[in-house]
Amino acid sequence: MRQFIVRLVLFLFVALVVFGLYRLVTIRPLSRPPFFPEQHAGPLRLADAGRSATAPPYTLAALQAAQQEGADGFYLPLWLTRDGQLVAAPSADLAEFTNGSGRIAQYTAAELAALDAAYRFDPGGTGTYPWRGRGQRLLTLAEILQAFPEQRVVADVQAAELATVAALLQAVDGQNARGRVLAKVEGQQLVEALRAQAPDLATAYTEGEARAFVTAYRLRLTPFYRPAAPALILPADQLSGRLVRAAHSRGVEVIAVATEDAQVQPLAAMGVAAVIVGL
């Protein structure tokens, strides 16, 4: 019995060595997608226009203000409409930020465009609502890509259903924008369908894939790790220079979510490719 156990342990050890060597030989780092420019002074600054203190979230005014502040692109949470379009909004509940009610999914894009997206925006908490009635409305992803042809967009799709993939590709391809859009889609089957259908469209790790990478990193197994996507989005407080270097070794670019502008410089020193920050 003892001899059998020794042989079994030896067999498992040899199998692990062979598997490890196979992974080292066959796994290749991912190539850098066009979303991340080869020549850029520091990380991309991607504005989360939902954090603006001066303009209603994700409206044209907020996006224009971010562009004027030097943003290289935008982070956009996107919601699916009844007629299969994606609109940028801080919430699916219209009563939270417009003069309407119900959920975004209950309306067409044209119906949503008739609402005042600045109706409940009160930056000073004074009850004056300075942007009401000034024509700020919900924008579709296609409209944003058209209005800002030089800006990059992190498209964070909020609805995990197959229709969102079709809506995303329709909006992106309608503006010939695959090279400047990074898609973040939850749901493993959904994101794999997107990657298979549009392999040239950069995608971010899902939450599950991100956990798997961080686990491999902590266990010092990064050399054996097969990268899932070219971009990993993590909160700034979860990042370190060593983790960023581990991601780079697999051809994965890191996007940090910063809570304040003061974090940008330390994150740049770590080597992150982009920072999502409020501007």
State the Cα–Cα distance between residues 202 and 179, nearest whole angstrom: 8
Q: What separation in angstroms does the CA of 249 have from each of 37, 140, 212, 243, 245?
A: 18, 36, 16, 10, 6
147 HSE (CA, 13 A, CB side): 15
Write the CA distances from 22 to 15, 16, 19, 226, 228, integer angstroms. Answer: 10, 10, 5, 12, 18
15, 7 in Cβ contact below 8 A?
Answer: no
Per-residue pLDDT of the chain (279 residues; tens, 9 = 90+): 565 454 544 434 443 433 333 343 444 467 889 999 987 778 999 999 999 889 999 999 999 999 999 999 999 999 999 999 999 999 999 999 999 999 999 999 999 999 999 999 998 888 999 999 999 999 999 999 999 999 999 999 998 788 999 999 999 999 999 999 999 999 899 999 999 999 999 999 999 999 999 999 999 999 999 999 999 999 999 999 999 999 999 999 999 999 988 899 999 999 999 999 997
**Cα separation of 144 and 142, whole Å?**
5
Q: Note whether residue 17 is domain-resident.
A: no
pLDDT at site 211: 96
Residue from 58, 114, 102, 105 nearest 83 by CA: 105
- Give residue 53's pLDDT: 86
Task: Tell me the CA distances in angstroms from 225 to 117, 212, 252, one per residue in order.
Answer: 44, 9, 11
The answer to the question of residue 198 being in a domain is: yes
Which residues form the domain of 108? Answer: 75-202
pTM of the model: 0.89
What is the Cα–Cα distance from 236 to 259, expressed in whole angstroms? Answer: 8
Q: What is the predicted pLDDT for the residue at 240?
A: 96
CATH number for the domain harbouring residue 160: 3.20.20.190
Instruction: Let me know if residue 30 belongs to a domain.
Output: no
The overall longest dimension of the chain from CA atoms, in Å, is 83
In a domain, 174, yes or no: yes
Confidence (pLDDT) at 2: 60
Q: What per-residue confidence (pLDDT) applies to 64?
A: 97
In the chain, the number of structural domains is 1
Full DSSP string of 153-197? EEEEE---SHHHHHHHHHHHHHTT-GGGEEEEE-SHHHHHHHHHH
**CB-based burial label for 11 (10 Å; 0-12, 13-18, 19+):** exposed
Q: Is 219 domain-assigned?
A: no
Structural domain includes residue 122: yes
The reported pLDDT for the residue numbered 5 is 55
For residue 177, is it within any domain?
yes
Residue 252 inside a domain? The answer is: no
